[in-house]
Structure 1
Amino acid sequence: MSGGLPLDGIRVLDLSRLLPGGFCSLLLADFGADVIKVEDTGLGDYVRWAEPKVPGAEPTASSALFLALNRNKRSIRIDLKTDAGRDVLLRLARHADVLLESFRPDVLDRLGVGYERLREVNPGLVYCAISGYGRDGPYRERSGHDMNYLGLVGLLGLSGEHDGPPMQAAGQIADLGGGALMAAFGILAALRERDRSGVGQLVDVSMADGALSWLAMVAAKYFASGEVPRRGDLELAGRLVCYRPYACADGWVTLAALEPKFWAAWCRGVGREDLVAHQFDAPGSTAHAEVEAIFRRRTRAEWSAFASDHDCCLEPVLELDEALDSELVAAREMVVELDQPGAQEPVRLLGVPVKLSRTPGDANRLPGPGLGEQSEQLLREAGFVEDEIAALLASGAVAGPAQAPEGSFLG
């Protein structure tokens, strides 16, 4: 493990699967936390099974989606339905700083290794539970995914054009913004408080709560005015001529000229001083039709050149391949190459999004782990001797490296 990273010395037991917990612990791992994936003795994290596979990579860590979330982590396989397996988790928890899980509420309690039991063996443990609707409330037991949470908190219903259907985002807003980021913040806040008190606590993260918090400005306006916003009515979601995507000669561009100086710069740049007074007209207006016609006369490249000469908050809408190959992404080191055992060439992944000046994160400390790859190593670190390790493996309470996953994540 490399030294000098901000979270060096912090050990995280990550019992989560798929995206929200995986992305949360990825952020911690990239900044030096020792993240241990605690996977079951069957399939492990489901995302291992996803397509596409990385050519030539180890079969148990070959999913490109898995590697995107699990670099810089280690893996142990434990059967928590056995007494011996639960004892292993408790032994690991004694020396951990954080436990992260994304089960429905009370699952670990029913297994005998919930928060109350874990805090008995480690009062300083920060226990973070990511769930759809939180650990209390009427929906605590309900299943759900990103779109369900966005629908229930009003965000999906406000996305899209006035006369169109709700629009799904390409990114998972509730999973990542409402779950993973809120969990990472909650964990770090609890660890900072533990520095003073010496005592851990439970961090209850609801993806629905987190997604709702993204509507802070919209909700504030509703609370103040009493006017219920509808899809297509939000100023920053398409209601203003000055703040919309526009079709151009060969694609789309974004105009976000919200401040009057930016709108005026665009109007003067295209020789339409008369449009300055119509900045906040609505779609369907005469001014909107004029602006649409102006944008169609130039290509994306021509509009990009225009934006370089006129400071007006105008940028092209790029396809993903264009964005990943752009000079902006390259300059910010937001595409990195990961050395993955067995892969035919380095694996390209997204980089570390938070830049620290003295102790930057490191995306390439460890390759993505094979399923159960470090089981025996982690047992030794927890104080188990060789005879005990052999007995745990023989009983099935712990499993070593898997030969290969079988099946399909979505099938």
Structure 2
Amino acid sequence: MTQPLTGVKVLDFSTLLPGPLCSLLLAEAGAEVIKFERPARGDEMRSYEPKAGLDSANFVLLNRGKKSVAIDLKSSAACDSLLPLVAEADVLLEQFRPGVMDRLGLGYETLAKINPRLVYCSITGFGQHGPRSTEAAHDLNYVAAAGMLSLTAGVDGSPGLPPALIADIAGGAYPAMINILLALRQRDESGKGCHLDVSMADNLFTFLYWGLGSGAQGQWPKPASDLVTGGSSRYRIYRTSDEQFLACAPIEDKFWSNFVALVGLDVDALNGMCPHEAADTVARTISQRPATYWLERFSGHDVCVSRIVSLEEATRDPHFAARKLFDRSVTTSSGTTLPALPVPIDEVFRATETQQPSPDLGADNHLLDHRA
């Protein structure tokens, strides 16, 4: 079966995580992705640790199946050599601050005259306009600005560091992919491309739907006070006697009743307590037994309880092995092989070959040579 994005050409001027992950998703669905990088150094992520061959493991995972062109975008002659590629491209992806591509002569208005069908996607922290549009920031800053980080505060009031780059992925790469596909579908009907403005900070508010709904009713959420921020005994992390932790989320009454009965407490009594008193009561009970006891106790029952495992343990889980989550691989020119990054693209849309390379810097400069 032909992949859905076969024949789609993507020019990727992005670096680090948001744009490269978006173009990885496009490549996994069959698009030809040409990655443009600085001469000599390339994408900064190539230099990160740990290394997988000459490049970082991070870079290798995010750039599987792409091509690499090393080019100095500050050189007018070099930029001129890009124009024939622009003329035949379907998608252009960039994540510079607003105005940078314009100054390089590669802004949307300029390139749309060369290729009116071009879908031009700009990923930025705060969008193409607004008082903060040119502000220097990273993932943590966007999560802070959107009010999400404040809700991670513990009992001492200090917010915690998120263990994932939420803004880069959920606010940047994924929305960019969605909107690129929508723009390509619209182009099928109209024959015209468009400029997509993807703001990572803007897109975080979608994940705070519950807080926005409560706030609209005058009940703005606070840390450790709402259902998903630690304000309920039904959505908590409990410590066991052997210093392990159980993630417990028996929110619905049917799950909660099962959970409480198996813990050995009285559901009516717990329901009559204030949330923190109920949580303390459950915590004391859970803390008296090791994790293995509770997992055996809960086995076969609908209680929504999971042991908190390390990432290393998670990769060895028989369930994920059965799902073939890590069966694909990525290779480097030095012969290093890594399990490919799992991506949310259904297998039916992906290539049949399960091993693909990560590009060396400038390995595909010949794509410009015959156009210069």
Q: Please classify the TM superposition score into its range, dividing by the shorter chain length.
A: over 0.9
The match for 1:15 is: 13
- Could you tell me how far 1:338 is from its partner in structure 2? 2.0
Any residues of structure 2 matched to 1:207-218 within 5 Å, and which?
Answer: 207-218=200-211
Contact 1:75 1:375 in 2 (8 A): yes
The match for 1:366 is: 356
C-alpha separation in 1, matches of 2:58 and 2:198 = 24
Per-residue deviation, residues 287-342 of structure 1 (Å, max 9, x unmatched): 32221122123333333333322211011111111111111221222224524144
Q: Which moved more, 1:12-21 or 1:346-355?
A: 346-355
The match for 2:223 is: 231
- Which of 33, 36, 46 is the matching residue for 1:35? 33
Unpaired runs of 5+ residues, structure 2, are: none
Task: Sort the Cα spacing of 1:230 and 1:361 in 2 relative to 1 into closer, same or farther, 3 A.
Answer: farther
Q: Which moved more, 1:105-114 or 1:211-220?
A: 211-220
- Which of 255, 258, 279 is the matching residue for 1:262? 255
The match for 1:90 is: 83
C-alpha separation in 2, matches of 1:282 and 1:66 = 49
The RMSD of aligned alpha carbons is: 1.9
Any residues of structure 2 matched to 1:10-409 within 5 Å, and which?
Answer: 10-54=8-52, 57=53, 59=54, 62-223=55-216, 225-250=217-242, 251-272=244-265, 274-279=266-271, 284-285=276-277, 287-343=278-334, 346-356=337-347, 358-360=348-350, 364=354, 366-376=356-366, 378-379=367-368, 383-384=370-371, 388=372
TM-score (norm 2): 0.94
Which secondary structure state, in structure 2, belongs to the residue aligned with residue 335 of structure 1? coil
Which secondary structure state, in structure 2, belongs to the residue aligned with residue 93 of structure 1? helix
The residue type paired with residue 323 of structure 2 is: R
Task: Sort the Cα spacing of 1:104 and 1:142 in 2 relative to 1 into closer, same or farther, 3 A.
Answer: same
The residue type paired with residue 311 of structure 2 is: L
Contact 2:64 2:356 in 1 (8 A): yes
C-alpha separation in 2, matches of 1:280 and 1:168 = 34
Which secondary structure state, in structure 2, belongs to the residue aligned with residue 254 of structure 1? strand
- Could you tell me how far 1:281 is from its partner in structure 2? 5.1
Contact 1:303 1:315 in 2 (8 A): no
Contact 1:336 1:351 in 2 (8 A): no
Q: Which moved more, 1:137-146 or 1:341-350?
A: 341-350
What percentage of aligned pairs have identical amino acids? 40
Contact 1:246 1:253 in 2 (8 A): yes
Q: Which moved more, 1:163-172 or 1:345-354?
A: 345-354
C-alpha separation in 2, matches of 1:300 and 1:198 = 59
Which secondary structure state, in structure 2, belongs to the residue aligned with residue 80 of structure 1? coil
Contact 2:49 2:56 in 1 (8 A): yes
Task: Sort the Cα spacing of 1:37 and 1:140 in 2 relative to 1 into closer, same or farther, 3 A.
Answer: same
C-alpha separation in 1, matches of 2:194 and 2:236 = 44
C-alpha separation in 1, matches of 2:343 and 2:206 = 24
Per-residue deviation, residues 247-271 of structure 1 (Å, max 9, x unmatched): 1133111110000000001112233
Q: Which moved more, 1:303-312 or 1:197-206?
A: 303-312
- Could you tell me how far 1:355 is from its partner in structure 2? 2.2
Unpaired runs of 5+ residues, structure 1, are: 389-411
The size of the alignment, in residue pairs, is: 371
